A = this chain, B = another copy of it.
Amino acid sequence: MSEFQDRAAEINDLLCVLNVLTWDARTQMPSGGSATRAQQLATVSAIARARLLDPAFEQAALRAQQQETTRRAASQALGATRAMKRIPERLTRELALTKSAAQDAWARAKDANDFASFAPHLQRMISLSRELADALGYQDHPYDALLGLYEPGLTSRSLHTLFEGLRAHHVPLLKVIRTRPQPRTDFLRRCYPSEGQRTFSLGVAQAFGYDLTRGRLDASAHPFEISFTRQDVRITTRYREHFLPAALFGTLHETGHALYEQNVSPELTRSVLASDLLGLYAVGGASYGTHESQSRLWENRIGRSRTFWELHFPHLQDHFPEQLADVTTTEFHRAVNVVEPSLIRVEADELTYDLHIMLRVDLEMALIQGDLDVQDLPDVWNERLQSDLGLTPPDDARGVLQDIHWSAGLFGSFPTYTIGNVMASQFYEAAQRAIPELNGQLERGDYGTLRTYLTTQVYQHGRTFTPHELLVRSTGRGLDPQPYLAYLTGKYSELYDLPTAHREHA
């Protein structure tokens, strides 16, 4: 290996170590360990950052840029070091300290339903994030700089256009669905012991191709996927004994993320192309949106499809014979696809989910731009939720305080959830075209061809290509909401037996 590759490998090792420390803290660590764990994380982060900024790494990258085989990796490394050099060390330190305090304050404020106690922390986090945006630089809008940390190439301008199109589709579709009778969903809230949920969900994850010799499933308060190279890719879920969909679709969602990471090319192991250097995060996926496209694809396009439940519902009934004795496959499929405006983003159906995202993105853009005061945030949130979804939160805990993101300074990451939805349908449509026999395979529970196709098109490349390049290579075009809108219209037209006029809307 060249000096550039050696140094990059050590940096990747350190980023993987940060992930191990994080996984442990979120799944295994006793409560008493949190303060010293934070110091361990800070020490390793600082070392990783120092190695990235080491002039010797930059020199090695400049030499590697001259070689065809290492050009892309070296260019990405140089882009990261240049961006990181623009961020003052003081700002990095203050962001870390503020994040830690703000997350604690958020957790307490949420428990106590007390936005006011969180407001000063949020205000500080907004100021620092704005400083970060200024340091990184932007053309039109400071929010673009933050967006670029999660979705390279995306701008508020293109996001605005995309969201206009989605809103023009989603709002009338939701309106017409609300005129139709709702399916029964009572049986989803019967008692489902966790062990059976785990066994069934993990069985499906394995059927999708999740390799347990290089992974494992645990429980955690918030589900996530995390990897320490493609050789060790772990997922978590959260069991709710009286709400079956939570752990079930949570597991399939994280499995989608895990399939991406487990199928990054072995040659990229410990390389720049399996490292988010600027984010100091070991990850093989091209961007947050690209990653989310794969979790959504496996969770929604496969896991919520009629074809899937035709095959798997009998197995689910084997696990829960009493709970599902009076339920048909059709009823189950309709229940896990019910559209119903609700307060909580992470529990929202596919259609209203995007409305939750757009609400947050509009508000966080205004916060970063300085067009919205923190003290006005709860009122604006509630007004917006009323106008978009016809609901008013009974308290801020189930309103503006529900998400951890802003306390963690993750301004610019919310859009990637909706970007993921859009990309998922683009990749899936391309897969349908490329694999004529796909439907038959899925009917038999044969997910190997789809997974191999996605590996070839997306997973194996790691961070070699930008999200735009990946889309163009697979679908012939850039980000395009049409396949997604057609999917939603078609799906809900059938599920809710909508009038033909509406079916043609998409």
Chain A contacts to B: CB under 8 angstroms: 9-10, 13-14, 16-17, 20-21, 24, 28-33, 35-37, 39-40, 42-44, 47, 211-216, 228-229, 231-232, 269-270
Contact = CB atoms under 8 A, between A and B. Distances in A.
Contact of A213 (B10, B32, B42): B32
Contacts of A13: 39-40, 42-44
Nearest to A213: B32
| Chain A interface mostly | helix
A111 to B, nearest CB: 19
Contacts of A270: 36, 39
The 8 A-B pairs with the shortest beta carbon distances in the complex, nearest first, are A33-B232, A32-B214, A13-B43, A36-B229, A32-B231, A32-B213, A13-B40, A36-B231
A30 B212 contact: yes
Given A17-B40, A30-B215, 20 more contacts: A9-B39, A10-B43, A13-B43, A14-B43, A17-B44, A20-B21, A24-B24, A28-B28, A32-B211, A32-B213, A32-B214, A33-B214, A33-B228, A33-B229, A33-B231, A36-B231, A36-B269, A36-B270, A37-B232, A40-B228
Nearest to A40: B13
Contact of A30 (B14, B21, B232): B232
A17 B28 contact: no
Q: Which of A16, A21, A30, A35 lies at the interface centre, i.e. has the most chain B CB atoms within 10 A of its CB?
A: A30
A17 B10 contact: no
Nearest to A42: B13
Nearest to A211: B32
A37 B19 CA distance: 12
A36 B270 CA distance: 8
Contacts of A213: 30-32
Given A13-B39, A36-B229, A24 B20 contact: yes
Contacts of A43: 10, 13-14, 17
Contacts of A30: 212-216, 232
A33 B42 CA distance: 24
A163 B33 CA distance: 41
Contacts of A40: 13, 16-17, 20, 228
B9 A17 contact: no
Contact of A36 (B24, B42, B216, B232): B232
Nearest to A214: B32
A227 to B, nearest CB: 10
A492 to B, nearest CB: 39
Contacts of A211: 32
A9 B43 CA distance: 9
A226 to B, nearest CB: 12
25 contacts: A13-B40, A13-B42, A13-B43, A13-B44, A17-B17, A17-B21, A17-B44, A20-B20, A20-B40, A28-B28, A28-B216, A32-B211, A32-B213, A32-B214, A32-B232, A33-B214, A33-B228, A33-B229, A33-B232, A36-B229, A36-B269, A37-B228, A37-B232, A39-B270, A40-B228
Q: Which of A13, A29, A44 lies at the interface centre, i.e. has the most chain B CB atoms within 10 A of its CB?
A: A13
Contacts of A228: 33, 36-37, 40
A1 to B, nearest CB: 12
A489 to B, nearest CB: 41
A424 B40 CA distance: 33
A13 to B, nearest CB: 4
Nearest to A16: B40
Q: Which of A39, A215, A270 lies at the interface centre, i.e. has the most chain B CB atoms within 10 A of its CB?
A: A39
A463 B67 CA distance: 51
A347 B228 CA distance: 37
Contacts of A33: 214, 228-229, 231-232
A213 B35 CA distance: 13
